[in-house]
Amino acid sequence: MSLYRVGVLLYRELVQGPKNIIFIFAVVVPLVLSLALALLFGTLFSGKPRLGIVDEGSSRLSQSAAAMTSIRLTIFATQVELEAATRRGAIDMGVVVPADFDAQLAAGQPTTMIAYVWGESLLKDRALLSTALVAWTRQIAGQELPVTLTTTILGDTVALPWQDRILPLLILMSVVFGAMMLPASSLVSEKQHRTLTALAITPATTADVYLAKGLLGVGLSTVMALVVLALNGALNERTGLVAGVLLLGAIFSAELGIVMGVLVKDVNSLFATIKAIGLLLYAPALIALFPDIPQWIARIFPTYYLVQPVIEIVQHNARLADIAGLLGVLLALIAVTGAILAGLTRRNYRLGTV
């Protein structure tokens, strides 16, 4: 194996790549899906939490809420309307302010304010609205009082909103599709056009070609996965760790793609193979969409150990020590697949035998 020859072949792949429909799909599909979901769930152009108020006595709390530009306020006439709006997700939180709310606070008496919370609202939106309510109450009272906020969660009470549940699917599509399909389709296409045979008369070895094609898939898919995470606001201070995990996942996917490219004879057979194993590849993400399904089932599938470490980092701020076990399994998968690929490479030590 020669790094110089790999570099020359990689440059060739970069030049030819944009002419490959799979290359275009690997770039466009994750971006389009991310933008569409951001628009669908309202996270692209507006990140403001939505508050609804039923004010039964013209409280100063409503005036304070109206003056706060970092939230979106809606005033409802009745408690029934407020509850219905919260249940369907039109607002993140709704509160009912009693008629004597300000007077009770001024007299130093404990009071109760009813609040409804949409079950799929973001945790940060709930925290912001709750903090704002406490601050407004203190302004009215002029001191800290034992105000009780009675909260009722309405709608789906799952811990993660739909945007977060779909994120594993976006990650797998970005990493697996690009890193696996690019080298696989490139190898099969070259076999069909007999350009691999032409390379057989050059000093390039089979390993050089496999590595160059794999590097293109790994690089492109890792970058696209990071872009998808950025578009979904999922990157945090552990971006370096996320990039490292995505890189390992892309290496595993590229190895699978090269193995398929070596074993499959034509493009039709390749797509038939991808279609047949598609459920196995994306099963962890599909299971994550539905929390009622036992989540341990996802551990059966190899791609779980690609996507779950990323989810642990971006959604739970996990450290390297927290995901060490998952990464250990992923490294083992890389080693096993690499050994299979090495065996195929030794068998086809010259391009003419691919």
CA-angle at 151, arms to 236 and 164, nearest 5°? 30
Whole-number pLDDT of residue 222:
92
Whole-number pLDDT of residue 140:
81
Whole-number pLDDT of residue 41:
55
Domain at 50-154, CATH from 3.40.1710.10, 3.50.50.60, 3.90.110.10, 3.40.50.300: 3.40.1710.10
Q: Report yes or no: 54 and 94 within 8 Å, Cβ to Cβ.
A: yes
* Regions in the chain scoring below 70 on pLDDT: 1-2, 8, 10, 17-18, 37-47, 143-164, 196-201, 204, 348-354
Q: Report yes or no: 52 and 85 within 8 Å, Cβ to Cβ.
A: yes
Whole-number pLDDT of residue 154:
59
Residue type (1 letter), 153: I
State the Cα–Cα distance between residues 117 and 50, nearest whole angstrom. Answer: 10
Q: Where are the domains of the chain?
A: 3-40+161-353, 50-154
Whole-number pLDDT of residue 144:
54
- Condensed to tens digits (0 to 9), the pLDDT of residues 280-330 reads 888 888 888 787 788 889 899 999 999 999 988 987 888 899 999 999 999
Q: Using alpha carbons, list the distances in angstroms from residue 262 to 259, 339, 351, 354.
A: 5, 14, 11, 7
Q: Report yes or no: 55 and 214 within 8 Å, Cβ to Cβ.
A: no
Whole-number pLDDT of residue 163:
67
Whole-number pLDDT of residue 147:
54
Whole-number pLDDT of residue 46:
46
Whole-number pLDDT of residue 38:
61
